[in-house]
Structures are given as structure tokens and as C-alpha cells.
Amino acid sequence: MNFMENKIFTKLVAEAKALGAFKANIIEAGDIITDRAFRGMCESNACGVYGKCWMCPPYVGEIDELMARVGKYDYALVYQTVTELEDSFDFEGMIEAKKKSYPLAQSLRKAFDDVHFEKVLHLGAGGCGVCEVCSKRTNEPCRFPELAMPSLEAYGINVSELAKASGMKYINGQNTVTYFGAVLFSLRDGE
Ligand code: SF4
């Protein structure tokens, strides 16, 4: 890592933490493990959103194509949020915690909105989360294509392995819920 890279990476990690990430770290995108089996989990529709959001399968894209796209970036800023729950059955708390992770993911767009990056891909925690109800449900076009954000899982990313590669815990203690996001990026030549 050269001096300029070190400076940019330090700034990105600090920004993610300042915006509310519990932890954040930069890893090489080549260390991200993908598996098409995650598409099967989406298809099982445990979340109830399969086929109901433009950023979720099947509309987000073919799994092999998306997994291949992950390998086209050089680095990833991986970040996590950790939220306390009333107890391990606090499903409302889990949904609220996921909603709180969306503003962080969107705010990070601004951190990447400068001249250092050749290309950037933002991936969040489960679903898109920009609109209360996705326009896919009424078969209308996406309302905010510039903000729409697919999940790590939609791209076949193994999040527990991502946590390990980033030096973070996948689970952060009893009565807490942890969500992950990542920003894949390549720096411009000369940075
Ligand atoms: S921005 Fe809104 S309409 Fe577009 S994919 Fe996300 S939730 Fe759906």
C-alpha cells in the first residue's frame, strides 16, 4: 500500500465510523468469498421480499454475472452496525436496526463521491431500503435508480466469511443484531 492509498483508506474508515459504523476496515476485493448457493436462500423467500424489489433477485441480475462483477474491483470498505435488542425474539428491533443501517450506507456514497475512484459499487444489508414500499410491487420503474442499493447476499457474498476477512465478529453478543455493508472500489491510476 503506497502513501496515497494509506491516506485514502484511513479517511474512508474514519468516515464510516463517524457516520455510525461500529467497525470498518478495508480489505482486498480478491479476499471476498462468493457462493451461488446464496441465490437459493433468496429464492426460498424467507424475508418475503423475493421478486418484490428491483434490487432483489431475480431482478437484480444473474448470480454468476454479479459474482463475477465483485472480482472486478480492487478493494472493499467493509463496515458493520451493531444494535442492542430487548431480547433474542425482538424481531421489530431487528427490522428497526436494519432500517437504521440504510442512512449510513447512503451517507457513504458522499464519501466516495470524489476524484479518487475509478469505479464504486455500494452493497447494503438485505433489500434496498430506500423506499418504504418498492415500486416493483406495482410494476413501476425504480423511483431512485441513483440511490437504489442491492444487498451483499444478492451478489452471492458470504457475509460471515466477509466478517472474518475484515477482522470483525459476525455476531456481537447476546441481544444484539449486526448488519454488514460494503463499498467495492478501484482507485484511479496514480492514486
Ligand atoms: S429505490 Fe425504491 S423503487 Fe428503487 S429499488 Fe429501491 S426501494 Fe425499489
User: pLDDT, tens digit, for every residue of 68-81?
Assistant: 999 999 999 999 99
According to DSSP, residue 136 is labeled G
Backbone φ and ψ for 83, nearest 5 degrees, come out as -125, 140
pLDDT at 59: 96
Q: Which phi-psi region, left, alpha or beta, contains residue 169 (left: φ > 0; alpha: ψ -120 to 50)? A: beta
pLDDT value, residue 47: 86
Please state the atom number of ligand 1 nearest to the C-alpha of residue 141: 3
Which atom of ligand 1 is found nearest the CA of 134?
A: 8
pTM, to two decimals: 0.93
Residue 110 CB less than 6 A away from ligand 1? no
Cβ of 128 closer than 6 Å to ligand 1, yes or no, is: yes
User: What three-state secondary structure class fits 82?
Assistant: strand
Tally of structural domains, the chain: 1
pLDDT digits (tens, 9 = 90+) for 118-170: 999 999 988 898 999 999 999 999 999 999 999 999 999 999 999 999 999 99
Who's near 175: CB < 8 A, 6+ residues apart? 84, 85, 86, 87, 88, 90
**Which of 60, 106, 122, 130 most suits a substitution to test ligand 1, by most atoms within 8 Å of the C-beta?**
130
Residues 54, 150 contacting (CB under 8 angstroms) = no
- The mean per-residue pLDDT over the stretch 94-119 comes to 87
Domain of 62, in residue numbers: 3-187
User: 93: Cβ–Cβ under 8 A, 6 or more apart, which residues?
Assistant: 83, 84, 85, 86, 177
Are 102 and 129 in contact, with CB atoms under 8 Å apart?
A: yes
* 166 CA to centre of own chain: 13
